[in-house]
Amino acid sequence: MGAAALTPGPVGSLSGVAPIGSPARLVVLVSGAGTNLQALLDAGSDPSYGARVVAVGADRDGIEGLARAHRAGLPTFVHRVSDHGTRAEWDAALTASCRSHDPDLVVLAGFMKLVGTEFLAAFEGRCVNTHPALSPSFPGVRGPADALDYGVKVTGATLFVVDDGVDTGPIVAQAVVPVEDDDDVSRLHERIKVAERAMLVANVGRMAREGYTVIDRKVRFGL
Ligand code: GRF
C-alpha cells in the first residue's frame, strides 16, 4: 500500500494519497514531547500500516520530539522563527525542508506554529493537524484549558486538513473524551492525548491506504 501525489480536483474538491504499492511518506512537524510522533513511528514499523515517517521537523531545538526522531535514525530539520528575518522567510525555509523529503502527507503533531501562505500552497490538502479539543469549539493553544474553564462534560481531539485558519480546516476525525469532576488541565490533556494518538494513527493510516477526498469541507476516505 502507499501513496501518489495529491491531484487537485475540481474547485472545492481535493483528493490524495492513493495506494500504489509503497508506503506513503510522512513528514512530521513537532514542538514538544512528540508522543503523537512516536505513535506514528511505532505504527509505521509495520509495513501493513501503509505509511512511514521519513523526516521530522521542528520550530525549536532540544525537544524530546527531535530526540525520538534521532533514536529512530530519521533525518531532522529545525527552523526557529527567530533565525529568520521575517515570518514569510521562516515559512519558505520550512516549506523547502519539508518538500526536500518529498512527503505524501505532512503531519503537524503538536507543532505550535501557524504555517504560512507558501507552506499552504505547497501542501494544500496534504497537511493534517491534530488539535486537543472538539472543533469548532476551543481553537488555539489553550484547547484543554478552555474546555475545562467552560465546564463542558465532553471534549476530545480533532484531526483536520490544514487551511489558513486556526484549527478551522475540514475535519478528518474526532475522538471524544469525558471531562471528570476532579480534572485539572494536565490530567485532562493527558487523557485527551491517549485518545488523540489512537485517532491520529488510525486515520493517517486510512488516508494513506485508502486515499481521501475533501469536497465542501467533507472529508471522506476512498477516491
Ligand atoms: C497534543 O495534544 C497536540 O494536539 C497539542 O499538543 C500536544 C502535543 O503532544 N497541540 P506531543 O508532543 O505529541 O506529545
How far apart (Å, rounded) are the C-alpha atoms in residues 25 and 123? 13
Q: pLDDT, tens digit, for every residue of 48-88?
A: 999 999 999 999 999 999 999 999 999 999 999 999 999 99
93 SS3 class:
helix
Report pLDDT for 220. Answer: 95
| Structural domains of the chain, ranges and CATH numbers in brackets | 7-221 (3.40.50.170)
DSSP, residue by residue, 28-91:
EEESS--HHHHHHHHHHTSGGG-EEEEEEEESSSS-HHHHHHHHTT--EEE--GGGSSSHHHHH
Instruction: Please state whether the predicted TM-score (pTM) of the whole model is above 0.75.
Output: yes
Write the CB contacts of 133 (distance below 8 Å, at least 6 apart in sequence): 139, 143, 144, 146, 147, 155, 156, 157, 158, 167, 192
Report pLDDT for 44. Answer: 97
**How far does residue 172's CA lie from ligand 1's centre (Å)?**
17
Q: Give CA torsion, residues 19, 51, 166, 190, to 10 deg.
A: 140
Q: Say if ligand 1 is within 6 A of residue 131 CB.
A: yes
Report pLDDT for 84. Answer: 97
- State the average pLDDT for the chain: 93
Atom of ligand 1 nearest to the CA of 132: 4
Report pLDDT for 113. Answer: 97
Q: Say if ligand 1 is within 6 A of residue 2 CB.
A: no
